[in-house]
Amino acid sequence: MHRHFEDAEEELKQRLLRMGGLVEDMLSYAGKGLLEKDETALKKVYETEAEVNRLHIELDDRALKLIALHQPAAADVRFTVACIKINSDLERIGDQAMNIAQNTEIFLKRPPLAHTFVALPRMVELAASMLKNSLDAFVGKNVELAGAVLSSDTEEDRLKSAVFHAVMGLMQNDASTVQSALCIMLIARNLERIADHATNISEDVIFMVRGTDVRHHSAGTSKIGA
């Protein structure tokens, strides 16, 4: 029975990683569409969403059955609950990638802006890195890597604020830019939300490994080394 449970846990883990890989692809396609004005990449975001949504439902069902049909120990319960929560965050990251693609499509149909939002490429890069590192932390049960993701969230917030500041100045100086500028503002918000979800995943990894809840701590990593 214990071996059967371990096999079920491993299958759950592998399906979660499959979903994580698809969500990473969605973010990569969305970023390429935005930064390279690649409409083909944007279409790939939409094409991937259906599989992510299917896995989202399947993973929750498998995880709940795992708890209901067995009597897992505390560490196994934490693993299964972490999978459910990570599954939810991954699905929401996919939604944010969809939003980026949709806002980019609107943006590309508008006259180009003279202003270059230099923080956006870094926001895309950082969000992708945080997502990857959070998933790597889950696979390796790596609390230190999870803590590094938490620390990175501050920079993404700062970059979003820089984009917002630039957008507000642009709209104030030229009313004709409002719709395009709002698209940039929404995209920056989408990227910041992806970073938040990656942070959530990392918090779940820390709880899964150590049973320590680090949510709502101002420093994010204040109890990781405890």
Q: Tens of pLDDT along the chain (226 residues)?
A: 466 777 888 999 999 999 999 999 999 999 999 999 999 999 999 999 999 999 999 999 999 988 887 777 777 889 999 999 999 999 999 999 999 999 999 999 999 888 889 999 999 999 999 999 999 999 999 999 999 999 999 999 999 999 999 999 999 999 999 999 999 999 999 999 999 999 999 999 999 999 888 887 644 444 454 3
All residues at 6 or more sequence positions from 26 whose CB lies less than 8 Å from its CB, including other chains = 45, 48, 49, 52, 93, 94, 97, 98
Domain ranges of the chain: 2-210
Class of domain 2-210: mainly alpha
pTM of the predicted structure, to 2 decimals: 0.91
Report the C-alpha gap between 186 and 110 in whole angstroms.
15
Q: What is the four-CA torsion angle of 99, 101, 103, 107, rounded to 10 degrees?
A: 170
**b/e for 198-212, b at 16 or more Cβ within 10 A?**
bbbbbbbbbbbbbee
| Tally: H helices and E strands in the chain | 6, 0
Report the C-alpha gap between 27 and 91 in whole angstroms.
12
